[in-house]
Structure 1
């Protein structure tokens, strides 16, 4: 950092807003403010040609939100965007990155570009993302694939790491120029100059009634709902020129030394701020008062960078690589705030589910159906993605907002998941209808199994069938020439009835048998289907063999499992002899913080469940799948009382944990339900590994990375470092010989403790209070209870026991298979010509490669396959298709073609190298136009 600010010669003033689509208020209430902001801003831009431009944050969804209510303004919006005076994008929404999936980041930029271009604009070269609490490490690589080579953010990088300008590198070496702004981040001119000349203050946020004639207004009849704030019906438009010169000088003096060049970036905007009508006058006056000292210009971020780059010495800038999640050592307002990934964990689970429905099921199954002659449902999928991405506004998906906002979020998650389910069902139905009826009578029934992943799979899965009652049928068998002897395990067999719907008829009733079984299905084709023949059997299916070996023990080929009297799990890896004890005990500590950060009570009391007495019972017994359940009550303080210490009144949390072991599985599946009757507490599930390591390994967006277990020394820092970290689908500890991994479904926060047992923990609930702030000194606590996560909460994860590390254990694939089981459907005989088994493609080659997306190209031409190599070694991706390939191309993530690959030798296969840490996207054109 420079010793002073004497090198500053230029000041670039950027007028902007930071638009929280829904935060303090619900979306519709916030949109009322959006209409005002846009109406005022458009009028200013239209009437004042000196007002250079206004930057609409870094996203674009608010254009649609505005034009939906002001359709008559669309033409003006488009004109100002084309003129470069209304700056939008490049994102669709500004997400909290670590609470969403990797594909959501890519689609966000795709939808952002599409939205901006629909209004006649371009997304430029600057990614302005000031919102996420930390930045994911592969973002520079993603941005470069969308033509974005500059990045601006301030959470996750501390002042001691770099000056305002620096270079950010992804693990693969993709680089962007980056800015962390200066001391006061994205609102330095706003506070230090704008407020000084319009309100006579800088940082003080006290409102003085009567100081200005502004008509404060607040509904006060007790019916005002979520918002208790005053609004100013006639906000004063005040400007004191006499304060301007000193305000600018003070700003430059405070912050100038942060900038590496002579160009000072002055950001004039705030949360939900509006363009200032006198901005041009202020700029003119600033030039008059300080023109001999600074070249002051009203401009935008693109032009700031254009000028700054003329003065940057790139070879002298620090290069920071990978994930940016640094705590703040010095400064203010730019805290990491890592707690959002554990706020409202139920929302994170809903996001996980909705994303899975779209990415893991709907898109690949629709692609499979389209290649086989079906229609790819473009509009449906676009609608589903818009519902999902509209939730990816940082305060919303971060779980920080009041209950009214979060209820809207839950609605949109349901819509996204429903649409994903509809698309999947239609694709599976198309395949079933078009199966060949050869050798099948009209009375035939089939079990069609769909594998959405491009890997061959042998699975144990559960089927829940409603089958026509056959005379004397007491069970049903499954047969297929590729899997002639399907092993079955009975779960239930009972008389039932079910509706049959027809567009030509009223709903009719089928008298049926409801048959529930576990079945083992072998070598299912990658991203494909197989139709088994269902045959009624006169003999009952009885479970003679079982994985259960005692009242509280189970064993398969790989693992020995014991459920202890306190509800925890002991597991022995039979291949290595490594034993793990007391896995899955709960800990609970006090929580006085908020959605953004954990704060412990001054005198905390911490509890664990190791001493509880659980009721243990075998609830399912068989040779394919067995389950032992443990139930107990966990006593914790009811709340934090006065915040100084936890309450002495205790709440009883009923806990039920189901441990399931399957044939041949290297993981124990866990379903944990807790009835949360307490408040202000942090509940975690813990796994003492006994593994000698100082590193944890976890997957993140398009990567797998290691993190040190010891918490760094942050003595004297303005933000104290913690030990929690984000994950996507797995976290692992390994000593090189043995490893234990947790594979959660939508649980995104973990911590590995530097204790004797090297305990690994997942956050289940971090129940806190909503404390909204206009400053750290003045907090408003809302009565909303949703953030306390009350009532029954259910969590699912698998405890994966293995030898070696994540790569040897194939944890990315294991997590994907766990999160996306095969789908099954009962069908009558088909009416087409499809074979009884087919697959779109299988990926082989390499031990680390992982597919993240299979979808139709955005332009409708061909199939898009995206995969990534999270390892430090180059790997060879080998694709084997079930239909002939005409052409294959490498693409960027924006789907623009970069290279044509050699013609597949046999028409069905091709290979491509994937460099270390690289995200690789391919476009495949099938012979005959299939998939277009």
Structure 2
């Protein structure tokens, strides 16, 4: 006899085609009804509140007086909550965001008095290979998932899932989803006609006699009559024994069954039984780029600065930072960050991220001002504070904005040595728009606003160094900005040429040539917010032959090409179908070659005036092999260029094509021991390995579509996903900026290569203490050194964050292994007491060796 575990739950999308405002009102009535039912019948429960504590937060906003009542039911274990704060996406959202999601979710659960120790992920659009690692770092030994699994990955719906770090969790799949047993009849006669088919499907891939039966759906009310109905069925038949259960009880019964489960490692992206929406990674790129900007700014600039200031005696605004994270996470659910929402919801997602970035920028500005105010100057001039978050000393080129009324200026370090700098852009600035105290002036104060690239050397690890702006003095070095009619840029490592509008990159270290690199290709997109879909008869246009002009710039720190394309293109899907070139794509590209680095820095500006299309940029790798590498949260993953399942998906009637559209955090590369190409991006999350040329990476810049959902797409046959709802804002008309780097490889994944990747991904940053500010503050009486380093941790691990600990007065330093090989490391060098901890900030064993795809965290008190 099979034991059927009834799991009563609701799946709570905070927003989708409806807004979070709609959701909160529905939640008010849902929660009141749930609590009433549980209190009236003490035999009912447990009920799973979708594994995310934000539902409780939302409910208390509309029903604050219900807190004690709700807490009592949670403590009794009749409402199961957590462990997540929100049901986050795992393929688009950053690693630190995922870690903080669990950290804050468990903190909420402690406040409420209980939590569900199961990594419940009911609706993420595919599953990261890193999920077992994240869960084990929080001492969670079980996972329940839905999308992305099929029996070609692992034969049964229960298995041991092992990450490359060595962490593993016992996993159960809901092969037919969290809503497979929704809206069950409340009488046995009707239920006995409905349940057999459901139970047969649920048992089809089960590894034991223990079967999950999830009873609930999207925003669905508590089906309180189902347990009593199933009790009656227990008396009427002998094939199944129904029990009220929880995921924890299910895993206990599974373990007691003595079944040896199969093992699996890797990501789960198979859309055989349910769509994973490959193509979501490039929907609403404006939202994706904004999210990455916020994540990286907070974790790699703001929090490290606040940590240093805290050690120097300034307060740490922990609640303010936590609120920024929480607001961001409310935009991290699969629909929200995926952009597969109504236009109104997408505008709210974007607003939350924009609000978070505004708050974070204000926190950084005020804390830089407080830091600068305590530094005793040893040189004349205005202080420029240059901050290095990385835990090793470095030289860097710092992008900084200077405001000055003078025609000339000079920058010197704390030893009085003249620094080199390069003027990137200049424009006049009305200072009353920046400085509050000038707003009521009867005259306008005009300054030069100068975007400058500053060469800063010997920056302390996890610390800062003070430089000085001397206004009215000459720069004291040659700074001619020469614009020449030349077609070659070159440093000691690389050479790039432009001939007949095409670019060729030469790696001088191995004489490898990469021809026609950075070619722009635009094709149709007949898809929706969920999926890219090629038109039945696509017509591609490219940048070939449409270069309008280019300039070659010679300057003190970097040389550059500036190229402008005016590309004839179809205006919309109808024009593309008819091969009409009735519009233009205006695209500008700046290719910078630093004098001191072996990479190309690429900035692209697109004026998107057309619709129903996808714009990609092609980077040949000259690598003839069937696999490549990309990064995932806290690690690297090896992927096949073309999924083998492409050969049989149609024959097996998969719900969606397993296309070669792939997610990344910021990096993708193809290489061997002698040559190859690595792309490192700032926010771009999608790439493709074209079937017709597998020695090329096609980086997606943007997709423009006009529908939330559509039916019968080429790569997604059948019903529409979501709602058939117009979404004109998803055409994302207007100006868009993209930034990435091309790093040629000449000796594989060498430590020098990884150090270059880290330096590009985590730039140092600066602040001019002009003496003016938007808001006035009383000065503090603390005194700070002119140069300061909190700690040193110079190893092959990549920096992730330096932050205040969640529950104690201590700091957390985190790094992670970016490579596919284990890395040895020593503890950080500091005068602060340290101990190694998990992502949950609990003590763990210091092994001294980081496994692949593994974070390493230190608690410093």
Which residue of 1 is the match for residue 671 of structure 2?
734
| Secondary structure of the structure 2 residue equivalent to 1:188 | coil
Q: How does 1:126-145 map to 2 (within 5 A)?
A: 126-145=118-137
Alignment partners' CA distance in 2, 1:773 and 1:90: 34
Which residue of 1 is the match for residue 776 of structure 2?
none
Alignment partners' CA distance in 2, 1:465 and 1:405: 38
Q: 1:269 to 1:564 in 2, by over 3 A?
A: farther
Shift in Å at residue 169 of structure 1? 0.2
Q: 1:739 to 1:843 in 2, by over 3 A?
A: farther
Alignment partners' CA distance in 1, 2:104 and 2:239: 43
2:425–2:450 CA contact under 8 A, matched in 1: yes
Residues 554-563 or 857-866, more deviating: 554-563
| Secondary structure of the structure 1 residue equivalent to 2:465 | strand
Q: 1:492 to 1:70 in 2, by over 3 A?
A: closer
2:8–2:222 CA contact under 8 A, matched in 1: yes
Which residue of 2 is the match for residue 202 of structure 1?
none
| Secondary structure of the structure 1 residue equivalent to 2:132 | helix
2:202–2:213 CA contact under 8 A, matched in 1: no
1:890–1:898 CA contact under 8 A, matched in 2: yes
Shift in Å at residue 613 of structure 1? 3.3
2:518–2:619 CA contact under 8 A, matched in 1: yes
Q: 1:711 to 1:251 in 2, by over 3 A?
A: closer
* Residue 406 (structure 2) pairs with residue 463 (structure 1): no
Q: Over residues 695-738 of structure 1, what are the superposed CA-to-partner deviations in whole Å (9 max), with x where a residue is unaligned?
A: 22211111112212234243223133211111112111213212
Unpaired runs of 5+ in structure 1? 1-7, 198-238, 902-910, 926-932
Alignment partners' CA distance in 2, 1:445 and 1:129: 52
Q: Over residues 356-406 of structure 1, what are the superposed CA-to-partner deviations in whole Å (9 max), with x where a residue is unaligned?
A: 121011111100111111111111101111111111111001111111111
* Cα-Cα RMSD: 2.9
Shift in Å at residue 56 of structure 1? 1.2
1:547–1:554 CA contact under 8 A, matched in 2: no
Residue of 132, 146, 154 corresponding to 1:154: 146
Residue of 274, 287, 307 corresponding to 2:234: 287
* Residue 412 (structure 2) pairs with residue 478 (structure 1): yes
* Residue 259 (structure 2) pairs with residue 313 (structure 1): yes
* Residue 640 (structure 2) pairs with residue 698 (structure 1): no
1:547–1:623 CA contact under 8 A, matched in 2: no
Which residue of 2 is the match for residue 670 of structure 1?
602
* Residue 58 (structure 2) pairs with residue 47 (structure 1): no
Alignment partners' CA distance in 2, 1:821 and 1:297: 58
Q: TM-score, normalised by structure 1?
A: 0.85
1:361–1:420 CA contact under 8 A, matched in 2: no
| Secondary structure of the structure 2 residue equivalent to 1:357 | helix
Alignment partners' CA distance in 2, 1:41 and 1:642: 53
2:428–2:447 CA contact under 8 A, matched in 1: yes
| Secondary structure of the structure 1 residue equivalent to 2:155 | coil
Alignment partners' CA distance in 2, 1:732 and 1:170: 21
Q: 1:583 to 1:614 in 2, by over 3 A?
A: farther
Q: Over residues 285-305 of structure 1, what are the superposed CA-to-partner deviations in whole Å (9 max), with x where a residue is unaligned?
A: 322322x33221122222122
Q: 1:514 to 1:656 in 2, by over 3 A?
A: closer
Alignment partners' CA distance in 2, 1:249 and 1:518: 69
Larger Rg over CA atoms:
1
Q: Over residues 24-47 of structure 1, what are the superposed CA-to-partner deviations in whole Å (9 max), with x where a residue is unaligned?
A: 201101222222221221221121
Alignment partners' CA distance in 2, 1:836 and 1:495: 31
Residue of 364, 371, 378 corresponding to 2:304: 364
* Residue 506 (structure 2) pairs with residue 572 (structure 1): yes
Shift in Å at residue 754 of structure 1? 5.0
Q: How does 1:782-801 map to 2 (within 5 A)?
A: 782-801=725-744
Q: 1:701 to 1:492 in 2, by over 3 A?
A: closer
Q: 1:573 to 1:649 in 2, by over 3 A?
A: closer
Shift in Å at residue 547 of structure 1? 8.7
Alignment partners' CA distance in 2, 1:579 and 1:608: 21
Q: How does 1:683-762 map to 2 (within 5 A)?
A: 683-712=615-644, 713-715=646-648, 716-717=651-652, 718=654, 719-753=656-690, 755=692, 758-762=695-699
Unpaired runs of 5+ in structure 2? 712-716, 773-778
Shift in Å at residue 158 of structure 1? 0.9
Shift in Å at residue 861 of structure 1? 2.5
Shift in Å at residue 528 of structure 1? 1.2
Which residue of 2 is the match for residue 521 of structure 1?
456
Which residue of 2 is the match for residue 841 of structure 1?
791
Residues 346-355 or 509-518, more deviating: 509-518
Q: Over residues 570-608 of structure 1, what are the superposed CA-to-partner deviations in whole Å (9 max), with x where a residue is unaligned?
A: 222222222222211122222222233232222222232
Which residue of 2 is the match for residue 602 of structure 1?
536
* Residue 315 (structure 2) pairs with residue 375 (structure 1): yes
* Residue 550 (structure 2) pairs with residue 616 (structure 1): yes
| Secondary structure of the structure 2 residue equivalent to 1:179 | strand
Alignment partners' CA distance in 1, 2:831 and 2:13: 48
Q: 1:75 to 1:605 in 2, by over 3 A?
A: same
Q: TM-score, normalised by structure 2?
A: 0.91
Residue of 535, 540, 565 corresponding to 1:632: 565
1:563–1:616 CA contact under 8 A, matched in 2: no
Which residue of 2 is the match for residue 324 of structure 1?
268
Shift in Å at residue 497 of structure 1? 6.3
Residue of 763, 769, 773 corresponding to 1:820: 763
Q: 1:313 to 1:396 in 2, by over 3 A?
A: same
Alignment partners' CA distance in 2, 1:493 and 1:11: 70
| Secondary structure of the structure 2 residue equivalent to 1:461 | strand
| Secondary structure of the structure 2 residue equivalent to 1:898 | coil
Shift in Å at residue 765 of structure 1? 1.4
Shift in Å at residue 548 of structure 1? 7.1
